[in-house]
Structure 1
């Protein structure tokens, strides 16, 4: 939800975020010093000090919980190998100091310190100098309907590029998954972001052209390094991310709508660790690492869940080398990026479409193994 505070309200909100994040840095230092990273342990250790800094009871508790959550995320990233192996420089740097919080980092509020007046489209929120009443918010009619029907729990106060937002959590009931009549396979790639087993290819050259232009401009501005260049980089830093998110939303919606219309489920590749597995030429590496394929998979997954469409993840190994007609596997089956020609039966198809069909077949097999484990 976009907030529209007046000048006085905006100043109070800015002071509130500043104090909360200063307090979070204090708590983070204590957590690192005493190796106390649990929510309850941090609350007992720092609650009195946070109250003395000017925080009320609930904001003080949320600051301690925010710090505990940050350390839990760091631990999970280390365990998953996202910060490198033990002894790597990146991991050493992450473990060598307390977690820091930006002055304007997001701060969670629960219903005790933030209340919604939905009919008036205003909120009342706790602030350092006293509670702020009737802070206006704006949203689309669809968002408003979702907010009225499903809002639950905490909301995060966010300041982004001088604009204020409330990220409200909505708990939407699950839709019963419909038994699928077959599966729509989705192959995720670089030349084409998504290709379905029906033969539909989403965003090839057009999207890559925009991404490559953004990469060239970003590299040019970084080389220049002047104040105006840095200012332009800052202004553009989220433009590419917004473009990618919008594109991923559109692709995901089309895929889920087609699966729902035809009564099929969706089979997706399990791409965990793809950046570590894939070996590419140098010009392709930037494209791989800037491609939001994980986001696209998440968008497809949550849209499928909201629509009651069955979703399965399959092992993508050799899907690009196997023939979807006869099952023959050979590296020679795929002479280049876009061509698939089976060396055994002669079947020919676009390589991404063939891979998507293999994924659809594995999806049907995987679904049968889970839903009908005792079937003959």
Structure 2
């Protein structure tokens, strides 16, 4: 019998596109593969058009990291656009999926969306662990129904929740609590750390003085992120902080995004002096450097968040987190940052307070590092996968082996 170090694990992604869930999941796969498990990834889509950005699988940083580490990544080759309804799966697509699942001991589904594929009749039955990264199951379209169907069918062996708010929300939505396991997000502490050289390099590249206060907003252009609230907060703060700068990065955070350009024009109007201190960086592959350059990492989301990765990564690089009270954000930043109401002036005031308190919070941020360790997260995933597969092989979940 294989131990956890020899498990064959298939992860199924809806697609490769910018977002914290894919970053976390891909990092988990790297860590588990380093420990001796055999991993591969099947992506339903080969490219997606969302956040006003065309995102090809081969261009994605997670794809490149996974394949660079020797993990096989394949795709059914579909293309998806925002608002487009899913087409039925074809015979060749199901045949590819059947071959991939037949070669696995256990399947990881990155969120519930891939269950639409895994629930198709005729596929080899394998225990499925669903990785949940949001706190709003009611906003996931038909994916929640697919999750419930897979649970009723006996296919889902466990659900990994990245936050307590995720577990609570899915339990309230009807998912059996016994299936819900909380494994908090973790990050690579060697990569995400304060770094004076990176701080200076990014600021120099942006033309930002070394002593100027900087707020970074790392988010994709999506309604849940409440970009208009962030921009109104930025205007209020920049008007007060004459030396301040705001950095926005993520999918859609570019001048080429007509929607974002319209929001900027609406908020800043003709005040070019203030708007000139807003830097749009788009998708960055060096977020550890961007965060190191910041004094504050900001989040203004209205819903959906569970354990926002930007807060953890930013904190570990020395930025003080300031967030609205969504998901587990308040508990994540407790004693390390500030929680605000969704009010632009209150948020702007909190950013200034965070800049002023940054030196005083350095000790607490440093002491919190092990709490957010990638090593802890990966060990918890390894233990859960081991238990799931052993339960099947010991006959506790009949009908899923073979």
TM-score w.r.t. length of structure 1? 0.28
Which of 1 and 2 has greater Rg?
A: 1
Q: Which has the higher helix share?
A: 1
Q: With the length of structure 2 as denominator, give the TM-score of the two structures.
A: 0.27
